């Protein structure tokens, strides 16, 4: 490899081109080229992973939702007959429709390679709710994990929510992350319905900094269960207030006296 990396560059016709290391093989060129290749593999492929926000007359959704697909929307399974396949999680179609524009700018940001992820995303999102797709080349590789760096998104982090099932993948902006348990393949799972309800509630509340909400829920082992509990308490309180408003107002003795004097 060092010999190959140390060879001088050539033009389209195959002629050797002289660079700062000369025309022949160079150990220094080999080292420099290796560092460049290593950097390309470890760092995101570009400084701005998303284009500039949409400008009027187009409508830019107020929040950006970044989500992993593996463990969140699908589960990889392997069989001798079919090899590797991705099992679709219950509620995927509803979830993508519910959190798509205009509430959220939806972005798939996956640790999968483009070769693996493209057909999966195409199969899941045939209606085109996902606005952008980012693959493994858009992550940092720290030697063990592919880490997602939201600072490369070209978006205000106050308005960015990242859905994942691996804490290590979101460690750079942990306060922006909503980490769920990895889907185990249960056909009766309802987490995506609850997650859609949570995200819709957050968006309709017009939260200025989503990190304050995410920090609160991520202190619990099951944030979705805590959200369901809070929603139930809210519904009970709203029902109590409604019943209070519908109660007939009881007249006091003073009211009766006033009406008697009027007669």
Give pLDDT tens digits for 203-248: 999 999 999 999 999 999 888 888 889 888 888 888 888 888 877 6
SS (H, E, C) 219-234: CCCCHHHHHHHHHHHH
7 closest CA partner among 33, 26, 28: 26
> In the chain, what are the domains?
2-36 (no CATH), 63-239 (3.40.50.1000)
Tokens of 208: 């200025």
Share of the chain above pLDDT 90, in %: 53
Q: pLDDT category, 257, cuts 50, 70, 90?
A: very low
What residues form DSSP beta bridges with 109? 134
Residues 185/77, Cβ–Cβ less than 8 Å? yes
Beta bridge partners of 22: 19
- What is the arithmetic mean of pLDDT over 170-177? 94
Count of residues in the chain? 263
Average pLDDT over residues 120-149: 91
Residue 84, SS3?
strand
Range from 105-109, 110-114, 179-183 that averages highest in pLDDT:
105-109
Residue 27 has pLDDT above 80, yes or no: no
Whole-number pLDDT of residue 47: 87
Backbone angles phi, psi at 27, to 5 degrees: -65, -40
Q: Give yes or no for a contact between 25 and 6, defined as CB atoms under 8 angstroms apart.
A: yes
137 pLDDT higher than 80? yes
- What average pLDDT does the segment 35-49 reach? 69
- For residue 260, pLDDT beyond 60: no
What share of the chain in percent tops pLDDT 70?
A: 86
- What average pLDDT does the structure give for the chain? 85
Q: Tell me: the pLDDT tens digits for 49-100? A: 999 998 889 889 999 999 999 999 999 887 766 677 889 999 999 999 999 9
Whole-angstrom CA distances from 112 to 55, 88, 116, 133, 172 are 31, 16, 6, 11, 19
d(CA 218, CA 207) in angstroms, rounded, equals 17
């Amino acid at each position: 490899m060092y010999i190959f990396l140390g060879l001088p560059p050539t033009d389209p016709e195959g002629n050797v081109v002289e660079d700062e290391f000369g025309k022949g093989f160079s150990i220094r060129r080999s080292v420099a080229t290796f560092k460049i290749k290593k950097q390309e593999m470890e760092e995101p492929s570009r400084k701005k992973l998303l284009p500039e926000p949409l400008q009027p007359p187009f409508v830019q959704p107020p929040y950006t939702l970044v989500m992993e697909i593996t463990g969140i929307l699908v589960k990889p399974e392997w069989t001798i007959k079919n090899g590797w396949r991705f099992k679709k999680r219950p509620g995927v179609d509803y979830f993508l429709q519910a959190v798509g524009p205009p509430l959220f700018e939806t972005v798939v940001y996956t640790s999968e390679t483009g070769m693996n992820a493209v057909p999966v995303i195409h199969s899941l999102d045939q209606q085109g709710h996902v606005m952008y797709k980012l693959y493994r080349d858009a992550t940092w590789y720290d030697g063990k994990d592919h880490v997602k760096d939201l600072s490369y998104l070209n978006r205000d982090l106050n308005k960015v929510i990242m859905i994942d099932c691996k804490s290590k993948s979101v460690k750079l902006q942990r306060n922006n992350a909503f980490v769920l348990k990895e889907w185990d393949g249960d056909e009766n799972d309802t987490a995506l319905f609850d997650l859609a309800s949570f995200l819709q509630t957050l968006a309709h509340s017009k939260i200025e900094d989503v990190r304050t909400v995410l920090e609160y829920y991520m202190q619990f082992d099951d944030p979705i269960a805590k959200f369901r509990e809070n929603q139930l308490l809210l519904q009970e309180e709203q029902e109590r207030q409604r019943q209070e408003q519908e109660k007939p107002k009881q007249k006091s003795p003073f009211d009766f006296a006033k009406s008697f004097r009027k007669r």
